[in-house]
Amino acid sequence: MATPSPRTARRLQNVPPTIFAEMSALAVRTGALNLGQGFPDVDGPPAVVEAAVEALRAGRNQYAPGPGVPELRAAVAAHQARHYGIDLDPDTQVVVTAGATEAIAAALLALVDPGDEVVVLEPFYDSYVACIEMAGGVRRPVTLRAPGFRIDLDELRAAVTDRTKLILLNSPHNPTGAVLTRDELTEVARLAVEHDTLVVTDEVYEHLRYDGREHVPICTLPGMWDRTVSISSAGKTFSFTGWKVGWATGPADLVATVYSAKQWLTFSNAAPLQPAIAHALDQEAGFYDLLAKDLQAKRDLLCDGLSRLDLDVFVPEATYFVSTDVRRYGYPDAKAFCLALPERAGVVAIPSQAFYDDQDEGRHMVRWAFCKEAAVIEEGIRRLTSADLHA
């Protein structure tokens, strides 16, 4: 993409282009292995692809209903009941979106007024910053620090005030791989109730957890149901990131609020893919259990390989990603390290500084993806090990 025009609206002028597109373009341009952007190199279940083909052939090719096809809304409700004991009315408490990305955008555009404060975990997924800016909100980051990336509860208590409109959570967390504990979530919930804030929670990695870590949806904690929008997506759960089928769930009034923005963003999305994802949710629960096991082994493979380099490796509890501190290689920052990496080692990784306001915390962090075939990870490690990575 070219540089945006100087006539770009002010609300977008402070939003840098997404680092994922930049680094994936770099991988394509240089032919380097892409351990950057988080997408699997093996597709999800073949039966789900067949269900999509069937839907295409059956003529489900015109606009889906704006809130989503009934069978997908029912399947999302059944999934929430099965895994978390959450009882949803599929007609009023589920809205289907163009990936979690649209659910996040619609929630923030529909709930945040100019000047409203949004408390957000830092490092943040990059679309959060863009959407808070587009809504005119003010972000109040709470930093998760290496090595453990736990929430500093004092920092959280200082950030959440009566000016806070909403707390934007992400657990399991990209890029750190932290899974928020019940204790951390309980304190978030207590503050949300005390200051009467909303919570928007991005749980796209809900099933990709390791070492038996528990995922607690914050909407299940006392006092939280009426104030929480929960977001997830089929992209990560079923390895169909390109389908962009996601959803938001919650109390009917908040789901209607998300829909009030969604209807003007895309109106509706992915008509033939929605019944296929309904099939996936109803029939393919075994897929994500196996995927998590497979990813845990790949996490270990990549973390072991990176540990043998001169890197501090922060082993993740969940997600596709591992973070490392690259200071010992002597670059001024991790972006310079990542820009040199394709030529030096034939590998692409993501500089995490794009996910931080606090550059003292983020300048030296690099994120690596392990949602790749084992042979690709092994080849990446081989290349990194045989390269001279020092500045």
Q: Which residues in this chain contact ligand PMP in the complex, by CB under 6 A? A: 99-101, 125, 170, 174, 202, 204, 233, 235-236, 241, 244, 246
Q: How far is the CB of 22 from ligand PMP (least distance, A)?
A: 16
Q: Shortest distance, CB of residue 131 to ligand PMP, whole angstroms? A: 11
Residue nearer to ligand GLN on the CB measure, 39 or 331: 39
Smallest gap from residue 271 Cβ to ligand PMP (A)? 17
Residue number, 100 or 302, with CB nearest to ligand PMP: 100
Of 19-48, binders to ligand GLN (CB under 6 A) are: 20, 37-38
Cα–Cα distance for residue pair 49/371, rounded to 1 Å = 20
Which C-beta is closer to ligand GLN: that of 40 or that of 251? 40
In whole angstroms, the minimum distance from the beta carbon of 43 to ligand PMP comes to: 15
Give me the least distance between CB of 67 and ligand PMP, in Å please.
17
Angstrom distance (rounded) from CA 111 to CA 167:
11
**Chosen from ligand PMP, ligand GLN, none, partner binding at 20 (C-beta under 5 to 8 Å by type):** ligand GLN
Among ligand PMP, ligand GLN, none, what binds residue 251 when CB lies within 5 to 8 Å by partner kind?
Answer: none
Q: Closer to ligand GLN at the Cβ: 233 or 268?
A: 233
In sequence order, what DSSP letters do the residues of 42-98 get, joined into one string?
S-S-HHHHHHHHHHHHTT--SPPPTT--HHHHHHHHHHHHHHH-----TTTSEEEEE
Under the phi-then-psi rule, with left for phi > 0, alpha for psi from -120 to 50, and beta for the rest, what region is 119? beta
Nearest Cα neighbor of 178 from 81, 289, 61, 318 is 318
Burial of 322 (0-12, 13-18, 19+ CB in 10 A): buried
Q: Is 157 exposed, middle or buried (0-12, 13-18, 19+ CB in 10 A)?
A: middle
Is residue 319 involved in binding ligand GLN (CB under 6 A)? Answer: no
In terms of CB distance, is 104 or 218 closer to ligand GLN? Answer: 104
127 vs 273: CA distance, rounded Å: 23
99 binds, among ligand GLN, ligand PMP, none (CB under 5 to 8 A by kind): ligand PMP
Rounded Cα gap, residues 117 and 132, in angstroms: 9
Residue nearest to ligand GLN (CB): 38
Helix (H, G, I), strand (E, B) or coil at 321: strand
Token readout for 260 is 């009030």
Pairing status of strand 198-202 against strand 164-170: parallel
- Whole-number minimum distance, CB 343 to ligand PMP, in Å? 27
CB 347 within 8 A of CB 33: yes
Scanning residues 158 to 197, which ones bind ligand GLN (CB under 6 A)? 174
What residues line the site for ligand GLN (CB under 6 A)? 18, 20, 37-38, 174
